[in-house]
Amino acid sequence: MTDSDYFNSEKMLNFSGTLVIFLIGSLAVYTERDTWLWPLVAVLAVSMFIGFIVFLIGDDRSRKHRIFWILGLLITLFFFLVEVDVVAILAIVWVVQAAELYGPRRAAFLALVSITVFLLSQIFHNGMENSFDSLTSAVLYGLFQVFALSAVQRGIRERLRREETALLNRELIATRDLLSQSTAQAERVRIARNLHDILGHHMTALILNLEVANHNVKQRTGIENSVRSTKQASENFSAGNDGGDKAQEKVEQALALAKLLLGDIRTAVSELREDDRIDLKSSIEKLIEGIPSVVFDIDWSAAPLIRSVRLAEILLRCSQEAITNVIRHSSANTCRIAMTKLDGLCVLTITDNGSPPSEIVAGNGIKGMQERVAAIGGSLNWEASLEGFSLCVKVPLGAENED
C-alpha cells in the first residue's frame, strides 16, 4: 500500500465515521419526534455531528483531546436519553478515534467502559426484568467494538511500519549522500596533496636549474664582452655574443614558463582544497523528502561552511533524531530547520509548532544527541512553549572550518 492509498483509506474511514454519526443522530431524532425529549436529542445530535467534524479537521492535539472527551459525554447522554440500541454504534466510532489518540491499551479500556455504560443504559430503559436482553445487546456491540478496534490497530501498525521503513530509507539516503561527499572531499585532498608534493617539487627543482643556467649564460656573456683587443676578436665576439643572447633569451623564456606553470599548479591546489565544503543542507533535504504530514522550511542563508566530516555527521544525526521526534511525538504540521554562526559556534535550531507534553523526559534519542554533541565540546538545549517545541544544538566549528 502506497502513502496515497493510506491517505485515501484514512479519508474514507473519517467519512464513514461522520456518516454514521449523522445517520444515528437522525434516527434518534426521528424516534423521539413525538416525545418531550425531541429538542434535547436534536441538540445533542447536531452537537455530536459538528464536534466530530471539528475533531477530524483540527490540528491542535490538546484541542482534539478535549473534543474527544466532550463527544464521550454526549454519547453517554445519548445512551440514557434514546431507547434505540443502535446508538451503541456511536461508541464504536468513538473508540476507533481513541486508538489513534491514546494507543491500543487505553482504547481497549475505553471500549470496556463504553460497553459497561451501554449496558447500564439498556437496563435503565428496559428494567431489571429484561437484563438478559440488555446483556446480550451489550455483548453483541462489544464484539463489534473489538472487531473495529482490531482492524484499526492493524492499520495503525501497518502505517507505523511503512513510516519506519520510509524513515530508515531516508536516513540511508542522507547517510549515503554525506559519505559520498566525504569520499569526494578525501579524493580532492589526495589529488591536491599529490599535485603539491610531486609536481610542485619537480617544478621547483626545474626553476632552480633554469636560474643556474641563466646565471651561467650571463656570466659567459660578461667575460666575452671584455675581449675587444683586435678587430678579428671583435668580429668573433659579435658572432659569439649573438649566440649568447639567443641562448639567454631561451633560458629566460623557459624560466618564465616554469614559474607560470608552478603558479598554475598552486592555484589548482588551492581551489581543490577550498572546494572541500560539505553540503549538509542537501543531506538534510533527503531526510525530509517524502514526508507529507509536515511542511519543512530550511534556512541556510547564514550557515557557516562545514568542512569537517565528523562535525557534519553529528549535525546530520541531530537533525535526523529531531525530525523523527517531530513526526512521531508531536502534532506539528510545520517545522523550521535553520543553521547560523555565532561566536565561532555552529548553531543548529529545529523548531516545530506542535503541542509538546507538559513534561518532557529525555529519551534515548535526546540522550544520544547530547552524547554526540558533548564529545566535540558542544551543547544541546530544548524549550517547550505554547508556540511549539524548539531544539538548539551548539557545536564549535574548529580550525578546519575557518575561512
| Model confidence band, residue 229 (pLDDT cutoffs 50, 70, 90) | very low
Instruction: Report the CATH number at residue 362.
Output: 3.30.565.10
Q: Assess if residue 160 is contained within a domain.
A: no
Mean pLDDT for 63-84 is 87
Whether 232 and 248 map to the same domain: the answer is yes
Q: Assess if residue 131 is contained within a domain.
A: no
Give pTM, 2 decimals. Answer: 0.57
Q: Assess if residue 174 is contained within a domain.
A: no
Whether 344 and 268 map to the same domain: the answer is no
More confident: 120 or 253 = 120
pLDDT tens figures, 275-315: 567 778 888 888 888 777 788 888 888 888 887 778 888 88
Query: Which range, 73-77, 203-207, 253-257, 356-360, is most confident?
Result: 73-77
pLDDT at 240 over 50: no
Q: Assess if residue 146 is contained within a domain.
A: no
Q: Assess if residue 46 is contained within a domain.
A: yes
State which of 245, 274, 303 marks the end of a domain.
Answer: 274
Whether 120 and 217 map to the same domain: the answer is no
Q: Assess if residue 375 is contained within a domain.
A: yes
| Model confidence band, residue 78 (pLDDT cutoffs 50, 70, 90) | confident
Whether 311 and 378 map to the same domain: the answer is yes
| Per-residue pLDDT, 5 | 47
SS3 per-residue string spanning the chain? CCHHHHHHHHHHHHHHHHHHHHHHHHHHHHHCCCCCCHHHHHHHHHHHHHHHHHHHHCCCHHHHHHHHHHHHHHHHHHHHHCCCHHHHHHHHHHHHHHHHHHCHHHHHHHHHHHHHHHHHHHHHHHCHHHHHHHHHHHHHHHHHHHHHHHHHHHHHHHHHHHHHHHHHHHHHHHHHHHHHHHHHHHHHHHHHHHHHHHHHHHHHHHHHHHHHHHHHHHHHHHHHHCCCCCHHHHHHHHHHHHHHHHHHHHHHHHHHHHHHHHHHHHHHHHHHHHCCCCCHHHHHHHHHCCCCCCEEEEECCCCCCCCCHHHHHHHHHHHHHHHHHHHHHCCCCEEEEEEEEECCEEEEEEEECCCCCCCCCCCHHHHHHHHHHHCCCCEEEEEEECCEEEEEEEEECCHHHCC
Whether 296 and 370 map to the same domain: the answer is yes
Whether 53 and 99 map to the same domain: the answer is yes
pLDDT at 98 over 50: yes
Whether 192 and 87 map to the same domain: the answer is no
| Model confidence band, residue 233 (pLDDT cutoffs 50, 70, 90) | very low
Q: Assess if residue 151 is contained within a domain.
A: no
User: What grid cell was written down for 380?
Assistant: 544541546
Whether 385 and 297 map to the same domain: the answer is yes
State which of 259, 274, 289 marks the end of a domain.
Answer: 274
More confident: 10 or 367 = 367
Whether 26 and 115 map to the same domain: the answer is yes
Q: Assess if residue 134 is contained within a domain.
A: no
Mean pLDDT for 247-260 is 67
Report CA-CA distances (Å) from 150 to 95, 292, 357.
11, 26, 27
State which of 102, 126, 150 marks the end of a domain.
Answer: 126
**Full residue range of the structural domain in which residue 245 is found:** 184-274
Angstrom distance (rounded) from CA 293 to CA 3: 11
pLDDT at 359 over 60: no
Residue at 267: amino acid letter: T
Whether 377 and 313 map to the same domain: the answer is yes
Whether 197 and 257 map to the same domain: the answer is yes
Whether 66 and 81 map to the same domain: the answer is yes
pLDDT at 29 over 60: yes
Q: What is the domain count for the chain?
A: 3
